[in-house]
Every structure is written in C-alpha cells, then in structure tokens.
Structure 1
C-alpha cells in the first residue's frame, strides 16, 4: 500500500537545561510525520533521535525524510535500515495505527517523574508528590559523589512512604562509585533500582554487580537500540531493561522480542511530544507493562 507522506520539524527549548553525565541538553529537536492512505485517513508518527544514546542524528533523520519524497509504501517502511531506529519507530508507529484500536490513555498508567539533577530535586520532588506522582527518577553521576550522597539522604527524608526512587547514572559512574551507591541503597527498600551505573560496554561487570548487591540494577544506554538489546540479552543480562521505544526501532519487532523472552521492562521517554508518547503508551498497553512508565516529563517544557 502507498501513503501520502508529509513531515514537519520542531524545536522545543527545555524550561531548564537537562543535565546528565553526558552533558547539558537545552533544545529537543524532532520530526512529526504524517501518513495518509487512499481513503483519506491519516496517522502521525514522531522521529525523536538521541544521537548520544545510540540513535541516528536529527540531521540524518531529516535527510531520510527529504529522500522519501511525497509518497512511501508499506514495503519501503519495512525496509528502513537499522541505523535509523528513530525513523523506524516514527514510521512504524504511524503505519500500525491504521490497523490497531487506540489503547488506554496516559491516565490509565502509573508514570515516573523526572527530577532535576542536584539539590533542585528536593523541592521538585515535594511539589510533584502533591500532584500524585509516586515514582521519581533522579540523575546521579553529575556532581561529585559526596555531594550527591548528601543530597540523596535529603531526598530520602522527603520521599513519601509509599513512593519509589530510581537513580539514573547514565553510565557515568566508576566501578568504585557504583559499588558505593549499590551498598548505600541496599537497605533502602524505596529505591526501585539504579539505572545504567557503568558504561554501555561493561555488561560483564554489571552482571557481577547485580549478583553481588541487593539493590536492583537496570540497563538503559546498553539496550537503547534493538541491536544492543539483542546483544545484551545474548550476553546474559536478566535484570531490568529500561527501553526507550522512540529509538528502539520498529514497534512490532520490539514487542515480539519482549514477549518472547518475557523481559522485565520499563518504558522511558526520549523527551518526545504527545505524538511519540501516545505511540509508546499504545505499545505499553499491548505488552501489559506493569512498572511505572518513565514519561513524567511534561513539566520540562513550556508548551
């Protein structure tokens, strides 16, 4: 089947820069695509790359859209190469929307709110808790570890009794620092997991740490794209997988892999718009994902 194809590029400034161990992110750029069939029905998809996470760059995604022209077929969508995973998801989710019934809306899911790095997280956590959030993610590996540990103690003091905290290192910890965090958190039952403590290639050491400490470990950068996901599973990781659908390739392929191996999955945002978020929620509903989804990021943008 052939579809009329149009697209538009957006630039969304963050309300405040997002600081991670990878650096500072000030503007989210992406592409909204639209497919229209012969009956006049239209569905949107979103291409929201994060190059430093392993996807294509926004320039490569824009170049691909330019090359498509004003029409694209189902066969051409299925042939989008694996080095364009954000394009695969954007086109793939728009295509599948023609044959699926819209699933549950965001209100049916528990979501995890993203806190700012550093001390600003303390006041923000208390504000978000009054809005009903019960799971929070805080970036570590951004400041010196002694300072972050001190802030962590303050966060735990204001964390509601029924809430959970996820610590996300974005692969920015040394092995010594990772062990310190894992030991600190081992008696803190409200710590859901530490996310990507070591670099994306340090799978063997991460598996060792997961066996050594009570604190659960989740992988994020190491499983960011579909090929990485396969490699990490084949190397023996059986812990938590934090998957960003927006850069994980074709949604049907991702769903089949998660289902086949019964992975323990968290879906997480790539700071996309409502278009990409809706596609991720659709997939989460189909897979019946139970862990809180990491999409509590709306307050990071003014729009």
Structure 2
C-alpha cells in the first residue's frame, strides 16, 4: 500500500434524543474521523468510536487521539504494510486501546478495498446483499420505551433491544410483552447484575427474550459460564470479548450462546472477521453491535454484517435514528427492516465534507 498521509478530524454532534443506560446518558457524541490518503489520490475512512468519558470501556476520544498521534501513526511512518491484516500484528506491541486501533485499521481497509476496486463487503467475504436492521431503545421511563418501540416497529425494524437493570427489568419486560407479545426482543444489562441475582435473571426466562447481553461484570467469562447453566435464555457477551482469544475461551467454557461483535471493541475488522469465522465454524450465532456511531463506522458495520455468520439483526439503524444530518453521502437508510449492502468500491459511502466541517472541533495532518 502506498500511504502518503493521514488526517485526523475530531467532530461533535448533538443527538436527536439523549441515549440512556444505567451507566451513562449520552447527549452529545464526539468521535475521531481518520482519513488515509495514498499516492494515487485515493482516500480511506475510519471512525474511532470511543466516548468522551470512559463509561463503556477505558478509552476516551482524548486517549484515542493520543495513541493515534504519538504511537500508531509514527509507527506507520517507519513501517510500510502491504495488506490491512498486517496492521493488527504491527500494533499488537501496544496493549489494549482497541478503539484507537480500529479507527486506523478500518480506514486502511477502506483504502485497500478501493485500491483493489472491490467493495469492502466482497473483500471480507460477505455473502448477503441486504442485512436485517435492529434498533436499541435507551429511554428513561417505561412509557417512553413503549412509545419508541411502537415507532420503530412502524418504521420496519425487525428486532428491538432494551436496556435493563435490577431497578427496572421485570416491570419493563413485562409491560413490553403485554403490548408487543411477538416482538423479537433482547435485553442488554451492561454488567448491572451479580451471581447473587440468579433468581432475578431466571425470572426473565418466561418472557421469551432472544438473549440477555452482558449481565455480569464487563471483564468476566467464568461467572457467565456458571450463570448460563442456570438460564434458559441465551447469554450474549459484549464487553467481555475484546480479543479473539476472549471469544475462543468464552465458547470453550460455555460462557455464552451468542456473541456480539463490535469492530471498535475488538480492535478492527481483522479480529472481528476472525471471531466471526471461529463462531461460524462452531455454530455460535453472532450479530453486529452498535456504538451510537456516525455513518462511516455504520458503513463498516454493514460490510461486516454481510458475512454469513451474522444471523441476528444487528444494532445498525438508519442515520436518522440519531442524527438530524449524518456525515456520509448517502446516509444509511432502512427499508422494510433491511439495509442494502453497498456494491461500490470500499465502504460504498462518501464523506459529507460540508457536514464534517460544520461539526468539526479540530483537525491535524500527518505525512508518511
């Protein structure tokens, strides 16, 4: 690859509605847009999906920027790569910082796909021309949740995820099931429970949930295996799966029956695809998680979710779900619950440069 420059742009946009979990309420969303330029004038784009504060993982926008500027980009200035897969090994000398790594790596994947004149989906081995779209409800009250769900179903979404904790779980799920008895419903706990609350989690078995996501500690695999043996409802692991070996160990231990794959959380597309391939061989369903991201990261998610093992609708909603105006052309649209997988070179979406400029906080360029 003939990379000659990298641009970092920090942007911030107000969400159409605040997004609430028991850990945090997100009103404004910062992100870092990574642009890679080659000597032929082609551009690849990635997005760092860390939040402004470390409530989801230890990373933030500021720490990610520090890692990119002071460590990852200088290493690329000294080392040439021929394929995006090489970047994962190259950056492995630096521990964690998965979202910073993914922002750079996905930009290189987009550029590489354009250099190969292929869509990113095809390059990764995607087999689906459309993918099902799911949506997340992050409301403060049961009434707001019910209203949002009704609207999302009217918009054609096929699966709904709700945020639960011991303070709201049984009442919230019960009310949703009364109003929407056939809804494909899953619950995300974001580590709100402990093993002492097994009986409470068992009580959710009667509601026919698709899965309960990350009920126990964010870094746990062992206790989830104990819990899964006591539940009929499948456990899905999210925050616990940061590396390929995390996924392998979780499957071997029986810690879950489903895995959520987030490109940012696992350090990029190379590892995300490796986890997918392993789960596909072992008949473990996977789905693509969302990070309240902008259109560039959303486009990478679409390409990943076109792989054959993604059998559950992911958290890949329309741009209009979160933004008055997104940063890609076109924006991401959902039609009758499905999203078309782009066939153009790379991610298949162009940056909306005017919109990016309107929401720009800072930018910096680096020569390779």
TM over 0.5: yes
Determine which of 306, 318, 334 is the counterpart of 1:285: 306
TM-score (ref. length: structure 1): 0.86
Give structure 1 regions of 4+ aligned residues with deviation exceeding 6 angstroms: 104-107
Contact in 1 for aligned 2:173/2:207 (Cα 8 Å): no
Matched residue, 1:276: 297
1:257 to 2:279 alignment: no
Contact in 1 for aligned 2:163/2:188 (Cα 8 Å): yes
Determine which of 208, 222, 227 is the counterpart of 2:226: 208
1:223 to 2:250 alignment: no
Classify 1:201/1:90 alpha carbon distance in 2 versus 1 (closer, same or farther; 3 Å): closer
Contact in 2 for aligned 1:33/1:44 (Cα 8 Å): yes
Matches within 5 A, 1:84-95: 84-95=97-108
Segments of 5+ residues of structure 2 without an aligned counterpart are: 326-368
Classify 1:202/1:77 alpha carbon distance in 2 versus 1 (closer, same or farther; 3 Å): closer
Contact in 1 for aligned 2:15/2:29 (Cα 8 Å): yes
Classify 1:238/1:155 alpha carbon distance in 2 versus 1 (closer, same or farther; 3 Å): closer
Matched residue, 1:144: 167
Q: Structure 1, residues 262-300: CA drift from partner, whole Å, max 9, x if none?
A: 342121011111101111221222354111111237423
1:188 to 2:181 alignment: no
Classify 1:232/1:245 alpha carbon distance in 2 versus 1 (closer, same or farther; 3 Å): same
Aligned Cα root-mean-square deviation (Å): 2.8
Classify 1:106/1:7 alpha carbon distance in 2 versus 1 (closer, same or farther; 3 Å): farther
Contact in 1 for aligned 2:228/2:254 (Cα 8 Å): no
1:168 to 2:181 alignment: no
Q: Structure 1, residues 191-216: CA drift from partner, whole Å, max 9, x if none?
A: 10111111124433321221222111
1:58 to 2:58 alignment: no
Segments of 5+ residues of structure 1 without an aligned counterpart are: none
Determine which of 281, 287, 312 is the counterpart of 1:266: 287
1:124 to 2:148 alignment: yes
Q: Distance in 1 between matches of 2:245 and 2:61?
A: 20
TM-score (ref. length: structure 2): 0.72
Classify 1:272/1:213 alpha carbon distance in 2 versus 1 (closer, same or farther; 3 Å): same
> How many Å apart are 1:261 and its aligned residue?
4.3
Contact in 1 for aligned 2:48/2:64 (Cα 8 Å): yes
Aligned length: 297
Q: Distance in 1 between matches of 2:6 and 2:19?
A: 33
Contact in 1 for aligned 2:18/2:27 (Cα 8 Å): yes
Contact in 1 for aligned 2:138/2:163 (Cα 8 Å): yes
SS at match of 1:98: helix
Q: Distance in 2 between matches of 1:94 and 1:49?
A: 16
Contact in 1 for aligned 2:34/2:45 (Cα 8 Å): yes
SS at match of 2:69: helix
1:10 to 2:11 alignment: yes
Q: Distance in 2 between matches of 1:19 and 1:106?
A: 32
SS at match of 2:207: coil
